[in-house]
Amino acid sequence: MRPLSDWLPPRDVVGVFTDIDDTLTTEGAITPDARQALAELKAAGLHVVPITGRPVGWSEPFAARWPVDAIVAENGAVGLQHTTARGLRKFYQQDMATRSANFARMQQVLAHIEQTLPGAQRSQDSAGRETDIAIDHSEFTQLPEHAIDEVVRMMHSEGMTATVSSIHINGWFGTHSKLTGARWIVRELWGRDLDAEIDRWVYVGDSTNDQVMFENFPHSVGVANIRRFEAQLTHPPRYITPSERGAGFAELVRHLLTGLA
C-alpha cells in the first residue's frame, strides 16, 4: 500500500464508492469532516454511493439525509435512493420469492450458530436485515479470531457466502457482493456499464470485506485503520490515507478534489 500522496487521481473521475463503518464513521457515527467531504464530492458533480454490509433498515435514514446518490446495503443486495419527488425508493437484486425462502433458511443458520458457538451473538442491527445475517465480532461483542473463523466456516458449510467486516461477520445466500452491487447500481441509476468505466471510479474501504473492490478498482484507497487487517489481505488497496476512519476519508476527498482543480 503506497501513501495517498503518491496517488494521481484520474482527471475524468465520475464517482466514489465508499464503505461506511470505520471508513466514513468514527466510533459508530459519521464525523462532521466526513459528512462535509461527501457534500464536497456532490458539489463537484461526482456520483457518491456508500456500499455497506449494514442492513437496509439501518441504512434508510442515511440514504435520506446524507448528500449521496444512493446507498447499497447488505453487501450489494439492496439499493436505497431518496429523491425529493419520490421519497425513499428501495429495490433489490433478488426477487421477493427468493428473498423469502432465503430469509427462513438464514434464520435457522443464525440460531444454530448462536446455540453452538460460545460467545457468538447476532448483531444488534439484525432486526433491519432482509437478505443476510450478521454475527457481531467487534461492535458490542468481542470474538477472538478463532471464533470468527469458525463462524465463517459454519456459514460456508450451509452453502452461504460469508465476509468479515470491521465489526460483523455477514452471511447470505446468493452470488451478490459489493462488486456486483456496484455494477448493479450504476446500471440501475445511470444505465451505464461500470466495468467499461471502472478506471474513472474510486473505492474507499477499511477491511477484508472490501477486498473484492480493492482488487477490481484501479483507484482503490484504504483508510489507515485497514492496517488492522493487513496480514489478512490478499488484495490490499493500492493507496492508504495518513489518518484513520472519517478523518482518512476526508483526506482522500481533499486529495482527489485538489487533483481535479
* pLDDT tens per residue across span 111-127: 999 999 999 999 999 99
Tell me the average pLDDT across 250-257: 97
Tell me what pLDDT residue 60 has. 94
Tell me what pLDDT residue 84 has. 81
Nearest to 68 by CA among 80, 56, 78: 80
Asked whether residue 146 carries a pLDDT value surpassing 80, the answer given is: yes
Which CATH architecture does the domain made up of 96-172 adopt? Alpha-Beta Complex (3.90)
| Cβ–Cβ under 8 Å, residues 256 and 202 | yes
| Cβ–Cβ under 8 Å, residues 151 and 160 | no
Asked whether residue 212 carries a pLDDT value surpassing 80, the answer given is: yes
Asked whether residue 129 carries a pLDDT value surpassing 90, the answer given is: yes
**Cα–Cα distance between 207 and 212 in angstroms, integer?**
11
Backbone angles phi, psi at 53, to 5 degrees: -85, -5
Better-predicted residue by pLDDT, 258 or 259 = 258
What percent of the chain shows pLDDT beyond 90? 94
Taking the chain, what is the end-to-end CA distance rounded to the nearest angstrom? Answer: 25
Work out the pLDDT band at 160, boundaries 50, 70, 90. Answer: very high
Tell me what pLDDT residue 259 has. 83
List, for residues 32-58, the tens digit of each pLDDT value: 999 999 999 999 999 999 999 999 999
Who's near 203: CB < 8 A, 6+ residues apart? 16, 17, 18, 182, 210, 213, 214, 217, 219, 220, 221, 237
Please tell me what DSSP assigns to residue 163: E
Q: Which helix (H) or strand (E) holds 221?
A: strand 220-222
Cα within 13 Å of Cα(236), Cβ side: 19
Asked whether residue 261 carries a pLDDT value surpassing 80, the answer given is: no
Work out the pLDDT band at 260, boundaries 50, 70, 90. Answer: confident
The CATH number given to 2-92+177-260 is 3.40.50.1000
Tell me what pLDDT residue 83 has. 85
C-alpha distances in angstroms, 238 versus 24, 82, 129, 217?
A: 19, 32, 32, 9
Which residue type does 116 have? T
Tell me the average pLDDT across 157-165: 95
Tell me what pLDDT residue 85 has. 80
Nearest to 83 by CA among 68, 99, 101: 68
Work out the pLDDT band at 22, boundaries 50, 70, 90. Answer: very high
Tell me the average pLDDT across 3-10: 96
**Cα–Cα distance between 185 and 198 in angstroms, integer?**
13
| Cβ–Cβ under 8 Å, residues 155 and 171 | yes
Domains 2-92+177-260 and 96-172 belong to one CATH topology: no
Asked whether residue 154 carries a pLDDT value surpassing 90, the answer given is: yes
List, for residues 68-88, the tens digit of each pLDDT value: 999 999 999 999 999 888 889
Sequence spans of domains, the chain: 2-92+177-260, 96-172
Which region holds residue 128: left if phi is over 0, alpha if psi is between -120 and 50, else beta? alpha
